[in-house]
Amino acid sequence: MEERVKKIYERLQKREYRNLRRVEDVALSNDCKQISDLALRSARRLYELVAQEQAVLFEEDRIGMMRTITSVPPLLQEEEQKALYLGRFVFDSAQVGNISSDYEGILADGFLKKRALLSVQKEKYATDSKQFKELEAMNVCIDAILLLAEKYRAEAEKMGNTRLAEALKRVPMYAPNGYYEALVMMRMINFTLWLNANKHNTLGRFDEYMYPYFLKDVERGSITREEALALTQEFFIDLNFDADLYPGVQQGDNGQSLVLGGVNADGDPVWNELSELCLEASLSLNLIDPKINIRVSKETPFSVYEKGTLLTKQGLGFPQYSNDDVVIPALCKMGYDLCDARNYVVAACWEFIIPGVAYEIPNVDALNYPGIVLDVIKEKLVGVHSFDELLSEVKARIQSVCFSLAEGTKNIFVEPSPFQSIVMTDCIERAQDISEGAKYNNYGFHGAGLSTAADSLAAVKKLVFEEKAVTAQELICALDNDFNGYGNLRAQCLACPKMGNNDDFVDGIAVALTDCFADSLAGLKNERGGIFRAGTGSAMYYIWYSEKLGATPDGRKKGEPFSANYSPSLNVKFDGVLSVIHSFTKPHLERVCNGGPLTLEFHDTLFRNEEGTQKVARLVKLFVENGGHQLQLNAINRETLLDAQKHPEDHKNLIVRVWGWSGYFNELDLEYQNHIIKRIEFLS
Amino acid sequence: MSKEGIIFSIEEFSVYDGPGIRTTVFFKGCPLRCNWCHNPEGLEARVQVVKSPNGCIACGACKEVCKYKEGCVACGACIPVCPRSLIRFSGTKYTAEALSKKLLKNADYLSQAGGGVTFSGGECFMQWEFLCEVLTLLKGKVHTAIQTCGYASNEVFCKGLSLVDYVMFDLKILDEEKARKFTGVGTEQILKNFRSLSTSGVPFVVRVPLIPDVTDTEENLKAIAETVAQSNARGVELLPYNKMAGSKYTMVGKVYNPLFDEQKAPNVNLAPFVQRGIKVKIM
């Protein structure tokens, strides 16, 4: 690593820069608070925050930027919020987030072109119209980002950092002239999105939208590979400086995902030198942000898997792989235009979304498969005469729960987000804030605990209906007593077929459940005219739902967690990873393609030499070639994690994958730490 | 009905047991008693009851139900009563048909990934009839390999060779006296089988465990390299001693008693092989 970059890296590690943050919270002016139009108020807030931000640069910075304001004041006053929220559906604190900006578009235009467009648009509307106010709000946000840029330009100039000062004379006002300026502009946008209270700000298809700028430099010979690498490293490090200020369920859950590879809108492969440079930068840094995702397909060269596996080996919990061969057709079936489907990225974790033209909420709620199965068993098992009858009851319940979940999303309230609107493809043209919708307005539901549900039904099928080893009443009694006094029955339950062993007896049930989930959402529309997408992710629901759920017929005791995402149950001995892949590619994944990866944990000794690493890469390829939709691999070592619980001070940089994101182990709550320790390792 | 085999583990996605991605089947029973053996579950050719010591709360429930206090007969009565689920059978009986059926379930993936099935142990030739039966059932359907110490009758060994696609053959110690001391058997039978292997046309590699001051000596490695150089081996794979070797002994009710300095790092000496133009890699 270049000396200059090393200095930046060390600054991040030492954390002393955090002392430069303001101690007191910033407050909004009364003028701002009293603006009745929320779009205008939001814009004003951003402007006031920028006005109070202090540009901080260090000698070694070429891109730089760090927050000095620690928290963004809420847009709504307490009483006002209460009134506005009343009777409304409020998701994720009513913030726009978890979407992907049109970076390609904003880089090509620059903010001044956007401003010109705004002026033209404003002419079309009466000054007291909603459209006019929203456009005006966007205009104020442009003032804000330009002010921010000017502050940094002045600071750079003052420090004699002419390169940055020169760059900031051009960006973000105009399109960048080369890779370096594009990075500065991206950093400025990223910084502003966070300061604007947007959540889960994804980075999209970095190797696609940045490539023209990179190529321009390469072609005119104005950048060497080393310089490009150093700048990419710096940009990646910069994404981490304020990460502790970014909101999420746990620290690290901030959505700074970056996508590499895949095909472009025309269907041509994207993978290029810059993709490789990003992998190299990430590998050299060992940081949780940005979280690397690779889009792959049957056409992907093996070398891409090999390079990706080097990151996995590092224990970062990424790259995560998404399979274009499954995802693109699935998105087309959901109604996305082919060119948009080809352009997909992942949201904060793994949900498939379209950059620029979508305001989707792919994580709006989650189906609790095991909860439904348990309820139905307790209510209906005694009365039904066959397993098929029971399964029909479960399906009927899934359908009614899906309907209620969909109903629950109605009458949503979202705060306007004029700055985010500027960096979307056509909010200005439509004179509409992004919070009110876009070309695509779909919602997605996770499907938590699939394996626990399938295993539970398999146990009932085998023990109650086929072997008649236990009566319905006895089983329910055992469940009600959390298996206390039913040790033998629990052992029998645990010995029943489990999803992940390539056994159609139970895998078939999982297929039926996922199909039913998809069927139940088919045809339902949300209030914005979008559809509901069924998924295989869990987000934090593998903890939230399981904590409250009683014992289940698969032998799981009360409160024990489900597996995260789309994975076999915990604490079950499996034949191995090949059988797991067989099992988990049986469901019709193109029908439940909201996102949610098969998650596999490997002991880190598997990667001890090139042979091991090569074979893991082969396994990923195998998964892709056999119709898997998404895969997340983690290299972990149980002993290391246990030691980190005892001696956190020795493991400050220990990174683990949690559900759809990587975080520092020490910064996780105990229950999330313990879950990771419990997950199965496929030892070798 | 054909003879049943006793298997103590089947590992999918085993990456260090032959070419490509493989499933490794561990046979119970071994004719050798290598002092450094890290897989004591593989020693006895019978089903055993094993108990993990980690997490035992000494509640006594297992002892209470035991009817064979003088000697375990692997009745398994203690298994369900352990509140921490620490007791289990080691060894599952399979018919050749059942085992091959199970293995073939992943044949598509294994073939796609340039791999196959590996038979290891213990020593797979300890159950040679079963081994040959399974190999026959798998022939032409999935690539097969065996990992062997080479200690078997030559007739049996050659029969196995005629059915298998790839061999990993252990050469541990070539000094007769030391071999008897540290592995429990001499070298004659092993070397005889090695010669058969070398002329069989079956592709093979030689594996050498590196045990400090036992197998990693200059003298031993030179002797092995010399033997390998005169054979058709494709290369040598060195397996440095792992300090975790003793960790499974308590579980099978045995005591680990290394006759060498466990703390000493094995001498990973490639020179004797490199000098003779032998391809060598460290596993």
**Which residues does chain B have within 8 Å of residue A616's beta carbon, measured at their own beta carbons?**
15
C-alpha–C-alpha distance, residues A91 and B209, integer Å: 59
Question: What pLDDT band is residue A402 in, cutting at 50, 70 and 90?
Answer: very high
Is the Cβ pair B112, A616 closer than 8 Å? no
C-alpha–C-alpha distance, residues A594 and A254, integer Å: 19
**Which residues does chain B have within 8 Å of residue A582's beta carbon, measured at their own beta carbons?**
105-106, 109
- Distance (Å) from the C-alpha of residue A560 to the closest C-alpha of chain B? 15
- Using only C-alpha atoms, chain A has a radius of gyration, in whole angstroms, of 26
Interface test with A, best of B7, B11, B13 (most A CBs within 10 A): B13
Q: What is the ipTM of this complex?
A: 0.87
- Distance (Å) from the C-alpha of residue B45 to the closest C-alpha of chain A? 22
Structure-block tokens of residue B19: 């070419």
**B179 and B105 in one domain?**
yes
What is the pLDDT of chain A when averaged over all its residues?
Answer: 95
Locate all alpha helices (DSSP H) within B40-95, ordered by sequence. 61-65
What is the pLDDT of chain B when averaged over all its residues?
Answer: 93
Enclosing domain of residue A441? 361-682
B268 and chain A in contact, CB less than 8 A:
no
- Distance (Å) from the C-alpha of residue B188 to the closest C-alpha of chain A? 33
Instruction: State which residue of chain A sits closest to B15, comparing Cα positions.
Output: A612
Write the CB contacts of A449 (distance below 8 Å, at least 6 apart in sequence): A368, A369, A370, A371, A538, A541, A542, A545, A546, A562, A563
Crossing angle of helices A211-219 and A273-285, in 10° steps, is: 100
**B146 and B77 in one domain?**
no
Structure-block tokens of residue B254: 């045995």
With CA atoms as reference, report the closest residue to B113 among A55, A446, A621, A592. Answer: A621
**B96 and B83 in one domain?**
no
Query: Which amino acid does the sequence have at B76?
Result: G
**B184 and B69 in one domain?**
no
Is the Cβ pair A684, B282 closer than 8 Å? no
How many other CB atoms sit within 10 Å of the CB of residue A50? Answer: 23
DSSP state of A174: S
Q: Would residue A87 count as lying in a domain?
A: no
Res A602: pLDDT: 86
Is the Cβ pair A684, B10 closer than 8 Å? no
Question: What string of DSSP letters covers A292-336?
Answer: EEEEE-TT--HHHHHHHHHHHHTT----EEEEHHHHHHHHHHHT-
Count of helices and strands (H, E) across chain A: 29, 15
Q: Would residue A506 count as lying in a domain?
A: yes
**Which residues does chain B have within 8 Å of residue A683's beta carbon, measured at their own beta carbons?**
11
Is the Cβ pair A619, B23 closer than 8 Å? no
Res B1: pLDDT: 47
**B236 and B189 in one domain?**
yes
Mean pLDDT over A318-344 rounds to 97
Res A682: pLDDT: 55
What tens digit of pLDDT does each residue of A568-577 get?
A: 998 677 888 9
For chain B, the domain total comes to: 2
pLDDT tens across the length of chain B (283 residues): 467 999 999 999 988 899 999 999 999 999 999 999 988 999 999 999 998 877 788 999 999 999 998 889 999 999 888 887 789 899 999 999 999 999 999 999 999 999 999 999 999 999 999 999 999 999 999 999 999 999 999 999 999 999 999 999 999 999 999 999 999 999 999 999 999 999 999 999 999 999 999 999 999 999 999 999 999 999 999 999 877 777 788 888 888 999 999 889 999 999 999 999 999 999 8
B98 and chain A in contact, CB less than 8 A:
no
Is the pLDDT at A624 greater than 80? The verdict is yes
**Which residues does chain B have within 8 Å of residue A618's beta carbon, measured at their own beta carbons?**
20-21, 113-114
Is the pLDDT at A283 greater than 90? The verdict is yes
B76 and chain A in contact, CB less than 8 A:
no
What tens digit of pLDDT does each residue of A291-317 get?
A: 999 999 999 999 999 999 999 998 888
Q: Would residue A165 count as lying in a domain?
A: no
What tens digit of pLDDT does each residue of B175-232 get?
A: 999 999 999 999 999 999 999 999 999 999 999 999 999 999 999 999 999 999 999 9
Instruction: State which residue of chain B sits closest to A576, comparing Cα positions.
Output: B12
B16 and chain A in contact, CB less than 8 A:
yes
Predicted TM-score (pTM) of this structure: 0.93
C-alpha–C-alpha distance, residues A108 and A103, integer Å: 8
Is the Cβ pair B21, A578 closer than 8 Å? yes
Crossing angle of helices A541-548 and A670-678, in 10° steps, is: 100
C-alpha–C-alpha distance, residues A591 and A540, integer Å: 22
C-alpha–C-alpha distance, residues A372 and A403, integer Å: 13
Q: Would residue A265 count as lying in a domain?
A: no
Is the pLDDT at A407 greater than 70? The verdict is yes
Res A684: pLDDT: 41
**B109 and B96 in one domain?**
yes
Instruction: With beta carbons less than 8 A apart as the criterion, state whether B252 and B41 touch.
Output: yes
Is the Cβ pair B23, A576 closer than 8 Å? yes
**B247 and B237 in one domain?**
yes
**B83 and B98 in one domain?**
no
**B15 and B86 in one domain?**
no
A249 and chain B in contact, CB less than 8 A:
no
Enclosing domain of residue B61? 54-90
What tens digit of pLDDT does each residue of A83-122 get?
A: 999 999 999 999 999 999 999 999 999 999 999 999 999 9
Q: What is the CATH number of the domain that holds A427?
A: 3.20.70.20
| Cβ contacts from A onto B, under 8 A | 68
B81 and chain A in contact, CB less than 8 A:
yes
**Which residues does chain B have within 8 Å of residue A555's beta carbon, measured at their own beta carbons?**
none
Locate all alpha helices (DSSP H) within A61-201, ordered by sequence. 78-85, 103-109, 111-122, 130-159, 162-170, 179-195
Interface test with B, best of A486, A571, A575, A583 (most B CBs within 10 A): A575
A598 backbone φψ class: left, alpha, beta (φ>0; ψ -120 to 50): beta
- Distance (Å) from the C-alpha of residue A360 to the closest C-alpha of chain B? 37
Q: Would residue A126 count as lying in a domain?
A: no
B20 and chain A in contact, CB less than 8 A:
yes
Instruction: State which residue of chain A sits closest to B116, comparing Cα positions.
Output: A578
Is the pLDDT at A466 greater than 80? The verdict is yes
What is the per-residue burial (b if ≥16 Cβ within 10 Å, else e) of A125-161?
Answer: beeeeebbbbbbbbbbbbebbbebbebbbebbeeeeb
Is the Cβ pair B21, A611 closer than 8 Å? no
With CA atoms as reference, report the closest residue to A233 among A391, A394, A61, A94. Answer: A61
Is the pLDDT at A661 greater than 90? The verdict is no
- How many residues are listed for chain B in this entry? 283
Option in A487, A578, A683 nearest B109 (CB): A578
**B186 and B221 in one domain?**
yes
Q: Is the dihedral of CA B11, B14, B17, B23 positive or negative?
A: positive
Helix (H) or strand (E) holding B101: helix B96-104
C-alpha–C-alpha distance, residues B148 and A136, integer Å: 78
Measure CA A329 to chain center: 21
Burial (0-12, 13-18, 19+ Cβ within 10 Å), A645: middle
Torsion angle in degrees (nearest 10) through CA of A59, A64, A70, A76: 150
For chain A, the domain total comes to: 1
- Distance (Å) from the C-alpha of residue B4 to the closest C-alpha of chain A? 20
Q: Would residue A522 count as lying in a domain?
A: yes
Question: What string of DSSP letters covers B227-248?
Answer: HHHTS----EEEEE--GGGGGG
Question: What pLDDT band is residue A681 in, cutting at 50, 70 and 90?
Answer: low
Mean pLDDT over A465-492 rounds to 96
Option in B13, B16, B81 nearest A578 (CB): B13
Instruction: State which residue of chain B sits closest to A302, comparing Cα positions.
Output: B113
Option in A487, A622, A684 nearest B15 (CB): A684
C-alpha–C-alpha distance, residues A517 and A652, integer Å: 41
Q: Which of these three, B70, B90, B110, is where a domain ends?
A: B90
**B61 and B199 in one domain?**
no
Burial (0-12, 13-18, 19+ Cβ within 10 Å), A312: buried
Is the Cβ pair A615, B105 closer than 8 Å? no
Crossing angle of helices A179-195 and A130-159, in 10° steps, is: 120
**B95 and B84 in one domain?**
no
